[in-house]
């Protein structure tokens, strides 16, 4: 009886120790193409553009054949910057700017692509940063009706984004929209990449 009990206790101890030392294997979950297509990040930025343009008083009703943006004068979209360091951006700021420009174009507004123009202030690794002193000059040179600028601020659980439509000749804010993105792994990686 004693050898049987000893064997049972030894077996139980072996099983319990195996449970503690066996690492839990979790397969890396990669997004599917369908999940990537339905990414909430893109949808949030596209929705923000729609809300921003609803608040812009000079924005004409957009139709499928209105590819000149009403007055024919284009918009300029500047790179979103870190609210705490206005001369710095990140992959997040540049990507949001690209999506803002894309969505405006999809909605039928004229958007000037600054990366193919000469004479625009470009800071290495930052994108098109339009500081107050450059807005008037760039907008005048390119005959822009308005400039879209923005900032982002990181909190412990979210990234708060602000978009504004600014009159390039007076620097007056004509429309604004605020929204937030969750500070998940995806957003965190976009803020940290350089």
Tokens at 93, concatenated = 């700021």
Mean pLDDT by 10 residues, the chain (194 residues): 58 52 56 88 96 84 43 85 88 95 94 65 47 66 88 96 92 95 92 70
* Structure letter (DSSP) for residue 71: T
Q: DSSP 3-state assignment of 86?
A: coil
Tell me if 57 is assigned to some domain: yes
CATH classification of the domain holding 122: 3.40.50.10610
Tokens at 118, concatenated = 């000469």
Tell me if 157 is assigned to some domain: yes
- List Cα–Cα distances, 177 to 144, 152, 161, 165, in angstroms: 20, 12, 8, 9
pLDDT digits 0-9 by tens, 59-116: 654 443 444 444 578 999 988 999 998 888 899 999 999 999 999 999 999 998 876 5
Tell me if 3 is assigned to some domain: no
- List Cα–Cα distances, 170 to 133, 142, 193, in angstroms: 11, 16, 35
Q: Where are the beta strands (DSSP E) in 52-106?
A: 75-77, 81-82
- Residue pair 149/130 in contact (Cβ under 8 Å)? The answer is yes
Tell me if 27 is assigned to some domain: no
Q: What is the pLDDT of residue 181?
A: 96
Q: What is the pLDDT of residue 141?
A: 80
Tell me if 54 is assigned to some domain: yes
Tell me if 166 is assigned to some domain: yes
Strand (E) or helix (H) holding 99: helix 91-106
Strand (E) or helix (H) holding 13: helix 2-21
Dmax over Cα atoms in the chain, in whole Å? 97
Q: Name residue 158's beta-bridge partners.
A: 182
Tell me if 95 is assigned to some domain: yes
Tell me if 13 is assigned to some domain: no
pTM score of the predicted model: 0.72
Q: What does residue 2 show for φ and ψ, rounded to 5 degrees?
A: -60, -45
Give the total number of structural domains in the chain: 1
Q: What is the pLDDT of residue 64?
A: 39
Q: What is the pLDDT of residue 63?
A: 42
Query: What is the domain range of residue 134?
Result: 39-192
């Amino acid at each position: 009886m004693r050898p049987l009990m000893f064997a049972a206790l030894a077996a139980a101890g072996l099983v319990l120790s195996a449970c503690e030392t066996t690492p839990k294997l979790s397969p890396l979950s990669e997004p599917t193409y369908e999940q990537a297509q339905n990414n909430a990040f893109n949808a949030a930025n596209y929705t923000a553009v729609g809300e921003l343009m609803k608040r812009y008083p000079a924005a004409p009703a957009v139709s499928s054949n209105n590819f000149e943006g009403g007055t024919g004068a284009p918009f300029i979209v500047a790179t979103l910057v870190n609210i705490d360091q206005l001369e710095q951006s990140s992959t997040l700021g540049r990507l949001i700017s690209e999506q803002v420009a894309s969505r405006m174009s999809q909605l039928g507004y004229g958007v000037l692509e600054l990366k193919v123009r000469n004479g625009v202030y470009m800071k290495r690794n930052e994108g098109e940063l339009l500081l107050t002193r450059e807005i008037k000059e760039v907008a005048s040179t390119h005959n822009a009706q308005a400039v879209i600028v923005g900032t982002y601020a990181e909190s412990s659980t979210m990234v708060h984004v602000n978009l504004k439509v600014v009159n390039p000749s007076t620097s007056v804010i004509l429309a604004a929209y605020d929204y937030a993105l969750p500070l998940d792994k995806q957003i965190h990686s976009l803020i940290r990449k350089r």
